[in-house]
Each structure stands twice: as structure tokens, then as C-alpha cells.
Amino acid sequence: FMQRLKVFRVLHRLDEHYRELDENGKPIKKKVDLKRMLSLAKPEAGLITVATLCLLVSSGTTMIAPLFFGKVVDAALISMEKLNLTILILGLIYGVGSIFSFLRAWFFTLSGQRLVARLRKDLFNSVIKQEVAFFDVNRTGELTNRLSSDTQVIQNAITVNMSMLSRNILQIIGSLVIMFVLDPALTGVLLSVVPIVSLGAVQYGYMVKNLRQKFQDRLADASTTAEEALSSIRTVRMFTSEKKTSQHYGSDIDKSYQVGKKLALVQGGFDGVIGIIAYGAIVLVLWYGGKLVNEKQLSPGILTSFLLYTLQVAMSFAMLSSLYGDFMQAVGASIRIFDLMDRKPEIPIEGGSQIVDMEGSVEFQDVFFTYPSRPDTQVLKGVSFKVEPGQVVALVGPSGGGKSTIVNMIERFYDPESGWIRLGGNDLTTLDPQWFRQQISMVSQEPTLFACSIKDNISYGKDCTLEEVVEAAKQANAHNFIMGFEEQYDTLVGERGVRLSGGQKQRVAIARALIMNPSILLLDEATSALDAESEHLVQEAIDHAMKGRTVIVIAHRLSTVRNANVVAVVDKGKIVEQGTHEELLAQDGVYKRLVLRQLMAGATNGLDF
């Protein structure tokens, strides 16, 4: 039973989790909703009821088996016939018990699997709906952790652990009752040890809980380090910082090891102490029982049964103490999960008006904005401009001025602090995001492709036929290079598109944008140099994509700026100059200085603002 106890402890530790801390590093106390936690199992009520019935039968057999053990001993002292009969009954009891144990375990685990599958889907649905600012604050690793391990902990707690709880409580009560009937005096001797064990267990539980928490926190630090390094392995390699990263991770692990060392001692010590008490109790019962047998007041069989019940009670107690930890952990996990499930996104992903034949005009009026993740820095400070349908507006200006922020706000990734953004004359916050985002396509400098086929990447925003995909790829100058691949449109692009070159990725991204047939196109011109051939193909695709659409482009090339209907110079969160290329040159302001500086620098690969 010590072995089983150890296995439970190991599982227990694997499951432990990080807590949420407030800004002072103190754990945040939140209301525990046990009822709600248990209600997660409601859809599985039928299966759980059947499982519980099986549990009753299997526990029943476990409870009476030791009784027949004793009877076997006594029967052996009488006759072979009696022995055979009793052994047969014992065999039957074990047989029935095993079948029902199997059913119980199967049904409980099955209901747990169903529950966790449901919980994960619900939780993911809730996470994916959150506004972009939420993801600026919450780390991806933590969110996926909630999806994988927090849900697992809850699953265990409300199915497997619940079943273990009822089984052990039943076994303790049942065993004690049978023991009492067998011999009240002997039971009294045994029960005198229980309070000592319980007190020790509670004290120990407290110590271990604190140590484990500390251990988990240290381990979480190490995981963060590992996750960050492994997900940016190219950067690590580039700066040859493998050793540094290893050292960093190593020192994090050493810190967790320091706590782990103490934990090992405390756990070992507990095993020793509990061992002495438990075996002491057995020795005590054995001595007292032996004395009764010697005085012919007790049969050897009953003493045997009694000893087995003693072991059973001890084991059940040990299991109960490990369950307590599991439940506390599940409570923590459920608080985090409910928080996330209940969170209403500040910007909904659907709902609002859809306007038939909306004009593709875009207007910013006095827009102020601060990123929620950086509340002390106002990024846009009163931005106003208007693009008429079919016009091209080029945003230029120094890096960090707020150009990308402006573009992101047209997708309503964030809402303004004050001011308005209008699409076709309608306040963006009144439009159905599901709908208006279909009218807009964005091609960024470093487009994100998904680890699937080229075809699936192009048709990412819209279900469409292969013909439509090919048509879009042709328009985006991507068809030729795609046909050059052995698997053509089924070629897998790898994680984040690593198997394609920069120019290829961009053309796939342009095809993906074109297939939506958007009325508004948001472009972030690449600053990184492509080879001349690629550059030409990408530019041609972009020029083609811009035709007949309202375009807002973060421009880095002089040709783009020249052809734009309006050039807006964005600096420090404001539009400092606005007009056509010629008008702005004539103004002799920031724009002219930018252009001249670029010309003097003699940039070879277009003009980079």
C-alpha cells in the first residue's frame, strides 16, 4: 500500500499548477464554486449513476472478502470439504468483484473523457473569441496550459477521484462495522491509533502543500524559459546563445531542485513515520489478537480477517489524504477555467448591423488610443483622415509613430479610447465584425501562414473551390511557383510557412487576401529586401490587388507614395502632414525632409521611409 501511496503522490505532483498572483505577488483569493464544478458532470449523470452502482457492488465484495479469508483459515482447521466450499465462495466473491471493478473503472473514466472533451471545446470557444488586447496580456503558454492540464485536473477530480472518495469512505465504514461485529475490544485497540495518524497526516499535508506550491512556481519559471527559447530557436542559433540559454534554464531548474530536495526529505520522513505507526498498529493488533487466540477467546480465522480489515482501513485512509490534495488542486483549476469561460470579450466577434452595398470609405475622426497592455503610453493622439472609396492612402513616417496601430484599428482589433472610426460612413462599433472583416483584407510585411497546404492557406478565409484558389494564385503571381512544386497546391508550407521563401510567402498571402474579394485592402509594404525578381513579382501582384479597392498602405517605397491619392505623415501618434506627394513636397515640411534623406542615402531597393 505504501507503493500505491507513492504512485498517487507522483501523479499528484505532476498535476500541480501555478496560481494566479496579484501585482504584489500574493495569490489572488477567488470564490470557490463547488456546485458549479460538480455540475460540469451533469451531462454524464446517467453513466456516472451506472458507474456508482458498479462501485457499490465492487466495494461490497472488497468488504466481505477478508471475512471469508478468515473463514478459510478456520475451515482448514476443520475439514477439506469445508475448506473447498469456502474457497469456492471466496473465488466467486473475487470474480464478481473484479468484473464490477472493471465496469466501475471503465464507466468512470469514460464519463471523465467525455467531460474533459466537452470542457476543452467550450473553453477553447471562449478563448478564441477574446479581443486581441487579451492576448497582448495573457501568455499563450498559460492559455494552452489551461486547456490541457487544468481541464485534466478537473476531469480527474470529478470522476476518478470522486469514485475513489466514495469507495474509500465506504470501505472504511464497512470495514469498521464488520470489525466491530467480529470483536469490539480489538476494534477499540485499533481505533486508539487513528487520531495519532490523522493528526500527523494533516500536519504533513500542510507542509507538503506549501513545498509543492513553491516547487511548482519554480518549475513554471523554468518552463517559461524553455518555451521561449525553443519557440525562437532560430534567434537563439543566430546569436549563438545556446550555452547562455542552457545556463539560464539550468539555474531555474536548480532552484526548483533546491525545493525538491526538501520535499523529498519531508515525503520520505512521512513514509517512515506513517510506516512506524501503521505497522505498530498491526503489531499491536496482532499481539492482542494472538493473546485472545491463546486464551481460546478468538478463532485464528477471525484474527486473520481482522488483520486484513486493519490493512484495508489503513490503505483507505492513506488514499483519502492524497485525494484531499487532488480536490484542492481541482478547485484551483476550476476557478481559473470558469474565469476564462465567463469572460465576455470586450470586442465581440459577431453581432451588429450588416450594410448592403456598403461603400468602401474609411474615416478616422479624432481617434485617441492607448494599448491596454501599456496603459501609461498614449499611442494615437487625435488621428483624423478620410479615404474615399477606391482611393489609396499611404501612411508614412518614422517607426513607432503609430502606423500599424492605425491599420490594426480598422480591423477593430482594438477600440479607440475616444473618437470614431467609420466604414462607409458607419461607426465601426455598430457593424457586425464577422461581416465587416470579410470586406477587409490585410497583407502584412511578414504574413503568417499556417502549417497546412498552400491550397488551405489561400482558402483560409473562405470556403471555395480549387478553381477559385488557382485563379487567386494566378492574380497574385503565385501560380507558377506553386506548380513548380511536386505536390503543387497540396504542398505543405511548414510551421509559419518556413518552407517558403519570403517572396513566395507574400504572394500566397496576397492570394489569400484576394480570394475574399475585399472592398478595403490594408497593406504593410515589406521593408526587408527581396531579390529583384521576387520584388518585381510581389509588386506586380500588389498593384493588381489594389485595383478598384480602397487601400490603406503603410508605404516604404517612393513609387507607392507617388501614386497614392493621399499621403499621411504619421509621427508620435499624430498625422502631422496630409496631402498628395507633390503638395507635401511643396510644403517643405517633415515629408520633404524624409524624402530628401532617403534620396541622399541612395537606397538601392526602393525608398524606405
The residue ranges that bind ligand ADP (CB under 6 A) are 136, 371, 373-374, 379, 399-405
Rg (CA), the chain: 35
Q: Shortest Cβ distance from residue 559 to ligand ADP (Å)?
A: 20
Relative to beta strand 550-554, strand 392-396 is: parallel
| Nearer Cβ to ligand ADP (289/402) | 402
Q: How far apart are CA 404 and CA 413, in angstroms?
A: 11
Q: Which is nearer to ligand ADP, 371 or 420 (CB)?
A: 371
Q: Whose Cβ is closer to ligand ADP: residue 112's or residue 573's? A: 573
Beta carbons within 8 Å of 263's beta carbon, 6+ residues apart:
208, 211, 212, 215
Q: In the chain, helix, strand, coil percent, each to 5?
A: 65, 10, 25
* Cα angle, residue 142 at apex, residues 138 and 144 outer, rounded to 5°: 110
Burial status of residue 399 (CB atoms within 10 A of its CB: 0-12, 13-18, 19 or more): exposed
**3-class DSSP assignment, residue 53:** helix
Residue nearer to ligand ADP on the CB measure, 4 or 374: 374
| Closest distance of CB 418 from ligand ADP, Å | 17
Nearer to ligand ADP, 135 or 204 (CB): 135
Quick one: how far is CA 229 from the chain centroid?
Answer: 19
Look at phi and psi of residue 315 and say left if phi exceeds 0, alpha if psi is from -120 to 50, else beta: alpha
Angular region, 21: left φ>0, alpha ψ -120 to 50, beta rest? beta
Nearest CB to ligand ADP, comparing residues 52 and 370: 370
Burial pattern 130-153, b for ≥16 Cβ within 10 A else e, equals bbbbbeeeeeeeebebbbeebbbb
Closest by CA to 70, choosing from 96, 51, 49, 89, is: 89
Sign of torsion over alpha carbons 443, 445, 451, 452 = positive
Least CB distance to ligand ADP at residue 362 (A)? 17
What's the burial of 532, exposed, middle or buried (CB within 10 Å: 0-12/13-18/19+)?
A: exposed
From the CB of 574, what's the least distance to ligand ADP, in Å? Answer: 12
Q: Which is nearer to ligand ADP, 124 or 371 (by Cβ)?
A: 371
To which residue does cell 478459510 refer? 72
Closest-CA residue to 331 (of 31, 108, 599, 576): 31
What count of other Cβ atoms lies within 10 Å of the Cβ of residue 101?
A: 19
**Shortest Cβ distance from residue 137 to ligand ADP (Å)?**
9
The residue behind cell 489572488 is 28
Min separation Cβ 257 and ligand ADP, Å: 36
CB of 554 to ligand ADP, least distance (A): 6
Inter-helix orientation angle 466-475/532-546, to 10°: 110
Least Å from the CB of residue 591 to ligand ADP:
15
CB nearer ligand ADP, residue 324 or residue 371 = 371
Per DSSP, the three-state class of 558 is helix
Q: In the complex, what is the shortest distance from the CB of residue 380 to ligand ADP, in angstroms, rounded to a whole number?
A: 8
Q: Which is nearer to ligand ADP, 204 or 371 (CB)?
A: 371
Q: Provide the minimum distance between the beta carbon of 397 and ligand ADP in the complex, in angstroms, as a whole number.
A: 6
Q: How far is the CB of 435 from ligand ADP (least distance, A)?
A: 25
The grid coordinates of residue 166 equal 466514495
CA atoms within 13 A on the CB side of 305: 30
Q: Give the integer Cα–Cα distance in Å for 157 and 147.
A: 16
Minimum distance from residue 571 beta carbon to ligand ADP (Å): 9
Cα–Cα distance between 103 and 98 in angstroms, integer? Answer: 9
CB 353, min distance to ligand ADP, A: 28
Nearer to ligand ADP, 180 or 371 (CB): 371
How far apart (Å, rounded) are the C-alpha atoms in residues 13 and 306? 34
The residue among 58 and 130 lying less far from ligand ADP, judged by its C-beta, is 130
**Among residues 379 and 516, whose Cβ is nearest to ligand ADP?**
379
Nearer residue to ligand ADP within complex by CB, 275 or 400: 400
